[in-house]
Amino acid sequence: MNRRLLPLLTRTGHRRSGTHCRYKCGDACDRPVRNRSDNPTFREVVSGTVSRRSVLGAGLVLGASGALAACGAPGAPAAPPSSAAPVPPAPGLGFTAVPPNTADAVTVPPGYAQQVLIRWGDPVVTGAPTFDVANQTAAAQAQQFGFNNDFLAVVPIPGDPTRALLVANHEYTTEPFMHPGYDAKAPTPEQIAIGMAAHGMSVVAVSLDASSGRPTGVLQDPLNRRVTATTPFRLAGPVAGDPLVRTSADPEGRTVLGTLNNCAGGTTPWSTVLSGEENIDQYFANGKAVADPVLKARYERLGLDGEASERLWETADPRFDLLREPNEAHRFGWVVELDPFDPAAPPVKHTALGRFKHEGATVRTMPDGTTVAYMGDDERFEYAYKFVSSAKVRPGTAPADRAFNRTLLDQGTLFVATFTGGPTEGGGSGGRGEWRPLVESLPDGTARSFVPGFSGTEVLLFTRQAADVVGATKMDRPEDVEPHPVTGAVYMALTNNDERGVEPGAPGPDAANPRADNTNGQVVELVEDGSDPTARTFAWSLLLVCGDPAAADTYYAGFAKDQVSPISCPDNLAFDPTHGHLWISTDGNALDANDGLFAVSLAGADRGRVKQFLSVPTGAETCGPVLMRNCAMVSVQHPGEADDASIDRPKSHWPDGGSSPARPAVVVVWRSDGGAFGT
């Protein structure tokens, strides 16, 4: 077998291990940059129009923040405060910040309590066996909570204030941390089947505290459900049935087995959950050997150009071998919709939202029922997208209304973002942007392309190439893209891009990306014209340029940097329902500390204040934050993951302690005295 084994080395400037990179994303950062188009990068379009002084001063953020005030934010920002005059924290930010640390624990502020709600292997489906790490089976895992939980959603059960449904993504498996004695060169068929069963999603009923409403325990319930890499999914939208998604097992091209690498997601007003399929390329083998030049180019643009896969699933299931099933990979890389209230209904893959490495999809619905979904393509120099539905939400809760609403993401127009530098309408320094149309998915199931040389279905299947053609702006790993539920401003987490200014001829630092080898990332704020999510144009500004506050190249919306917590590698975003603060979870902290969850004030005198609320254990990543009125909930993903570690050589025993194996888990945090959350 001609199999390339990547070295287990931690990439310079990153705290993530080589093991992590191999199993989570197929070592994307050490592979060639996939976007070799000549489109301008984000830094190139603003270079020369916005000075470095403006980004490190107070000006760049004012244009969008002024627009925020105009569309309902609680007060316009004040001038940047002096470090000699500390600014009292806004309501909801009164907790004591957690200092950076490397503890093998979830660390929370004084006065707060925490509880593990559910962990890898805990029973989900009624009758599931108790977890036994030494005696795992695929049949058991398919009934138990999956591995490496990421996105979380809490969906209320109508008419029942004592229960809710927790929906979790299971992004990927790290087999050396699952199976004692694991041999990566020769996994057993059962280990492969366990890995498939540990991917996907979980739906779990949880009990709610009678007074605070916070989740307190997991219930056995008929709605509980596991979705895995072998669960039937329905393809919906214009690509369904297309010849390029037909396979020997599915000659009609309408039913796909499984979902893979589910990262972030979102919830809909009709109480379903969206999930993004991200690094799907790493599961497919032998793309490098494909001879057809057109197919090979399409594969390469999405990273499907390897030899043997890391997990060797192709040895157990031929659909993961691109030489045997060349269309199977076209059936992954979509946004998935799951109805947690109907365990019998197959989840749906919405092809009208395009195919790329989806971090997730978050929605905003207008008063007239138009629904807009925002999406990021999580890879270096990739793009940000939005989809605007043509049909309108039906407000009823009857089965017919909910069934109709589940078709809204099959009809509408997909756009990609471009950014230009210059003044904003608010008068400050910043820039303008445009959403350029790519394709319209029509009610009759067809698609109308706006991209020369592409059919409608080709735009949807090969969205990156289509976005290249229309001149989309290259971004630094767009991850979560979230609209504020009150102001409508859109926040985009750009995690990092260590290719910037590193190789000879590579783009160097500038105002929007103010450092070479960008290991810390930034957060961009977009204000669409008229606060209308259907608008084609917007203002943009930098909210945060992340990193050590003591470093000259960081920026915290003009707020005094000696009054903030250091933050690195922003990933998932959320908003608290009481005060509207932005909450950020991090992935890959490059500041020699564990990842964490951070709160950020968006308005008023302390706009730009960042406070760390919690940190996660050694080797772990903070994912899927959910902010409820009286608690916060996070996924603790891959605790103890390090190159010199495994389940046989543990670096962590979180969450159970003793000699137990480390287990990814969901944690709830609340005020121990029952007081207001955030104080």
Report pLDDT for 34.
Answer: 82
Q: What's the helix, strand, coil split of the chain in %, to 5?
A: 15, 30, 55
Q: Are 82 and 562 in contact (CB under 8 A)?
A: no
**DSSP one-letter string for 124-175:** -STTPPPP-GGG--HHHHTTB--SSEEEEEEEE-TT-TTEEEEEEEE----G
Burial code of 235-253, b = ≥16 C-beta within 10 A, e = fewer?
bbbbbbebebbbbeebeeb
Preceding peptide of 655 cis, ω within 30°: yes
Report pLDDT for 31.
Answer: 75
Report pLDDT for 84.
Answer: 55
Q: Which residues contact 271 (CB under 8 A, 6 or more apart)?
A: 155, 156, 339, 340, 341, 402
Burial code of 1-21, b = ≥16 C-beta within 10 A, e = fewer?
eeeeeeeeeebeebbbbbbbb
Q: Are 52 and 510 in contact (CB under 8 A)?
A: yes
Q: Are 360 and 334 in contact (CB under 8 A)?
A: no
Burial code of 314-326, b = ≥16 C-beta within 10 A, e = fewer?
bbbbbbbbbeebb
| Strand-by-strand arrangement of the 255-257 sheet | 255-257, 232-236, 348-350, 335-338, 273-277, 262-267
- For 316-428, strand residue ranges (E) read 335-338, 348-350, 362-365, 371-376, 380-382, 384-389, 412-423
Q: Are 451 and 460 in contact (CB under 8 A)?
A: no
Query: How many C-beta neighbours within 10 Å does residue 644 have?
Result: 9
Q: Are 87 and 81 in contact (CB under 8 A)?
A: yes
Query: How many C-beta neighbours within 10 Å does residue 72 have?
Result: 14
Burial code of 585-618, b = ≥16 C-beta within 10 A, e = fewer?
bbbbbbbebbbbbbbbbbbbbbbbbbbbbbbbbb
Report pLDDT for 508.
Answer: 56
Mean pLDDT of each 10-residue bin along the chain, 679 residues long: 36 62 77 75 46 35 34 36 77 98 98 98 97 98 98 96 97 98 98 98 97 96 98 98 98 98 97 98 98 97 96 98 98 98 96 98 96 96 96 92 96 94 40 94 98 98 98 92 97 89 64 69 94 95 92 90 97 97 96 97 96 97 97 98 95 97 98 94
Report pLDDT for 8.
Answer: 35
Tell me, what DSSP letter sits at residue 181? T
Report pLDDT for 80.
Answer: 45
Report pLDDT for 514.
Answer: 58
For residues 77 and 624, give the distance between their C-alpha atoms in angstroms, rounded to a whole number: 29
Q: Which residue has the tokens 């919306």?
A: 557
Q: What angle do CA 74, 61, 491 make, to 5 degrees?
A: 70
For residues 54 and 77, give the distance between their C-alpha atoms in angstroms, rounded to a whole number: 17
Report pLDDT for 53.
Answer: 35
Distances (CA, A) of 532 to 330, 367, 547: 33, 11, 32
Amino acid letter for position 191: Q
